[in-house]
Amino acid sequence: MERLLNFVYNYRAFFTFLLLEFFCAWLIVANNQYQSTKYFNTSNRLIAQINATSQGIREYFSLRDINEVLAQENTMLRTKLVQQEQALYLYNLNKVRDSALFRQYDYVSAKVINNTTKYYKNFITIDRGADAGLQVGMAVISSLGAVGKVKSVNDHYAVIISLLNIENQVSGLIKRTGHFGTIQWDGTNPSIINLKYIPRHVNPTVGDSIVTSGYNAVFPAGVFIGRIKEFKLKEEALFYDIKVELSQDFGKLSFVEIIKNKTMKERNLLEQTTIGEQK
Amino acid sequence: MTRTGILQFVSFFIYVLVQALLLKNIVLFNTGFCFLYVAFVLLLPIETSALILMAAGFIMGFTIDIFYDSLGLHALSMVCIAYVRNYWLGIITPQGGYDAGAFPNVNTQGLQWFLVYTMPLVFIHHLTLFLVEAAGSLFWYSMLKTINSMLFTMTVIVLLQYLVPQRSRA
């Protein structure tokens, strides 16, 4: 026994080393798997405030760009609204029957206070949290396209898993042909994202729009993601390699909208009870 | 607490703030990162024991992790080089050994020795960091990131050796 203790004591540095490294490895795995680690990230109040100050200074340099994008979005929305009203009037559908479906999606706008694009696992911190009704798993979009989903929520801040995160998968659809695949980033170029699992018989073309499919309850169907930049079909490969140019420049992200899906719980419950628990 | 201890304590916060507010935003060519906070562990006095080094490395890494939303990642790489550091110092001992209480910096040991000392450790730190973050995939791209970031970090560390007055002994 004494020998053993002596042995441990003599190699105490090595054992501490092993202990600390195992602890760190556990932290990394836990942080990837569970969505509940919420104190030791940028949604922590103190850290978020520091970041908000720093972002406030940075923002002055991009005010012009932000204004332009917002103005464009306003015009787009106004046009859409008019079109919609005309269509509704035409078919006499002004009275909506199911109030739950009428406001199925609710939007909360938030400011980005921390954002990275250059790592393999990128996260975005925003200045809205549980007090604005945010919950883990909600979809986040910007005026130009899909952004990510909420990973953890504190009282006033939340952390979002960016689309530019090699672990984030989103169901995407080629709008023209209607075939769906999985959107996943490969970790290299922050303006390009991959569309995987599009089978051989499909004929994509450069410039095709890619939108979210709505097959998982996170994103509503039809949120724009980007356009096909190039695609390859290797000999013997089952699926295309498709590179999609993102419509949102993640480096310039400044305002985002969080989508509250009121029927998400209902849908998840239904799918889980019939199909079984899914990841 | 001794004067050196207080100075190290203050420098800890300076490293964290500079890293989180300034260097985090600076990325060269999409692949060159500057992880200056590594210097905190590298520049502790030569005689610092491995246990203290690892504790310091862990706390520093963990704090940086909070800002980078990457719990455990920077801490793992920091503990790794904190453990290796003293063995490496032992291997590259100059003739006549180190002076008592000396700091491993350009002033006391010269630029050539300093580069030999820091370069491999910074390399190990960055390589662990990028490989663990990619979870084993993307090896060559991680290698590119490692080398670019190492050049960037090394440049800043060496420049600071000349710009900020360095003490030669405790």
Overall average pLDDT of the B48-75 stretch: 86
Give A103 or B139, the one with higher predicted confidence. Answer: B139
Task: Look at residue B169 and tell me if it is in a domain.
Answer: no
Which residues make beta-bridge pairs with A210?
Answer: A174, A226
Tell me which residue has tokens 């890494």.
Answer: B61
Lowest mean pLDDT segment, chosen from A28-42, A45-59, A144-158, B41-55: A28-42
Residue of B nearest to A30 (CA): B71
The partner residue sitting opposite A31, judged by closest CB among B27, B72, B80, is B72
Range(s) of the domain holding residue B151: 3-163
Nearest CA distance, B68 vs chain A (angstrom): 7
B163 confidence band (pLDDT: 50, 70, 90): confident
Which residue, A191, A146, A51, A195, is CA-closest to B30? A191
Which residues from chain B sit within 8 angstroms of residue A153, using beta carbons? Answer: none
Looking at the structure of chain B, the number of domains it has is: 1
Give A174 or A31, the one with higher predicted confidence. Answer: A174
A99 confidence band (pLDDT: 50, 70, 90): low
A263 confidence band (pLDDT: 50, 70, 90): confident
Structure confidence by residue, pLDDT tens digits, A80-94: 877 777 777 666 665
Burial class (CB in 10 A: 0-12, 13-18, 19+), A187: buried
**What pLDDT was estimated at residue A101?**
54
Nearest CA distance, A82 vs chain B (angstrom): 42
Write out the two tokens for A139: 């979809």
Task: Look at residue B94 and tell me if it is in a domain.
Answer: yes
Task: Look at residue B170 and tell me if it is in a domain.
Answer: no
Overall average pLDDT of the A129-156 stretch: 85
Which residues from chain A sit within 8 angstroms of residue B137, using beta carbons? Answer: 166, 187
Give the percent of chain A with pLDDT over 70: 88
Are B71 and A42 in contact (CB < 8 Å)? no
The partner residue sitting opposite B79, judged by closest CB among A24, A47, A116, is A24
Instruction: Determine if residue A148 is left, alpha or beta; phi over 0 gives left, psi from -120 to 50 gives alpha, anything else beta.
Output: left
Q: Where are the domains of chain A?
A: 2-33, 42-279
CATH assignment, A42-279: 2.40.10.350
A279 confidence band (pLDDT: 50, 70, 90): very low
Overall average pLDDT of the B117-142 stretch: 85
> Hey, of A17, A24, A188, which one would you mutate to test binding to chain B, going by the most B CBs within 10 A of its CB?
A24
Task: Look at residue B27 and tell me if it is in a domain.
Answer: yes
Write out the two tokens for A61: 């340099």
SS3 B71: coil
Integer angstrom CA distances of residue A123 from A35, A40, A152, A235: 13, 14, 11, 36
ipTM at complex level: 0.75
Which residues make beta-bridge pairs with A243?
Answer: A194, A230
Structure confidence by residue, pLDDT tens digits, A10-25: 788 888 888 888 888 8
The count of C-alpha atoms lying within 13 angstroms of the C-alpha of A20, restricted to the half-sphere facing its C-beta, is 29
Task: Look at residue B75 and tell me if it is in a domain.
Answer: yes
Round the average pLDDT of chain A to a whole number and report it. 80
Are A50 and B21 in contact (CB < 8 Å)? yes
Burial class (CB in 10 A: 0-12, 13-18, 19+), A20: buried
Give the percent of chain A with pLDDT over 90: 0
Query: For chain A, first and last CA: distance in Å?
Result: 47
Overall average pLDDT of the A113-136 stretch: 85
